[in-house]
Amino acid sequence: MRVRLFPLFVMCLVCAFSAHAQLVDEVGSSAILNKTTAEISLAIQNTSIPFEGTINLELLDPQGTIRATSTQNVQIRKKKHTYKIAMPIGDLMKTAGDELAWYRLCIALGAPKVLSRYQNC
């Protein structure tokens, strides 16, 4: 039994040590809504090595429908840094009205060839 579990344990350790550890600081992040764009500033804490990654943003309405998206390739540096992303929102400022306060931002951050990803929804 021990012989069979050892390779599984080693494989789990390899995956754990090779995964990038990153976290989006929601308190240090912000969003500014303009007429046709949303300016998103994400504070990202990376405790691992720098890597080339992708930030995917989705703006969801209260029913969970995606109303706007943005994807940006970035170089995620070590320690805490702020990354600015512009997301086109079209005429949402006019059409959404007061319901806009209930929209939520879904953030996915990761490297294409790495098992680890940060996702908040």
Task: Report the relative pairing of strands 104-110 and 117-119 from DSSP bridges.
Answer: antiparallel
Look at residue 13 and tell me if it is in a domain.
no
- Block residue for tokens 């806009």: 100
Q: Is the whole model's pTM more than 0.95, yes or no?
A: no
Number of structural domains the chain divides into: 1
> For residue 90, is it left (φ>0), alpha (ψ between -120 and 50) or beta?
left
Look at residue 1 and tell me if it is in a domain.
no
CATH of the domain at 101: 2.60.40.10
69 and 49 Cβ atoms separated by less than 8 Å: no
Q: Among 40, 94, 39, 96, which Cα is nearest to 67's?
A: 96
pLDDT tens for the chain, residues 1 to 121: 444 433 433 333 333 434 456 688 888 999 998 999 999 999 999 888 888 889 999 999 999 999 999 999 999 999 999 999 999 999 998 998 889 889 999 998 877 655 445 566 6
Sign (positive or negative) of CA dihedral 56, 59, 60, 66: negative
Look at residue 9 and tell me if it is in a domain.
no
Which domain, by its residues, includes 69? 20-119
Look at residue 71 and tell me if it is in a domain.
yes
